[in-house]
Amino acid sequence: MAVPKRKISSSRRNMRRSHDYLRGRSAVVCPHCGELKAPHHVCPFCGYYKGRQVMAIKEKRKSDSDDAPTPDSG
């Protein structure tokens, strides 16, 4: 079984791990509606991709959320 001869210093260990960080997700502005969306994806707000509508979006009605029972009422 392989065993290291010397202790790896914290500096050398940290240099090795310097590329292991996570990057934030990128976002672009939708040219049709102006909302933020993932690049190269259909806009979840308007359904447009590359200047044409490819997905129908159902509009949220405010009355649906008002009629929903609250967890405290039951």
Domain ranges of the chain: 25-59
Given a cut of 70, the residues of the chain with pLDDT beneath it are: 61-71, 73-74
Measured distance between the N- and C-terminal CA atoms of the chain, rounded to whole angstroms: 63
pLDDT of residue 59: 79
List the alpha helices (DSSP H) in the chain: 10-16, 62-67
pLDDT of residue 25: 92
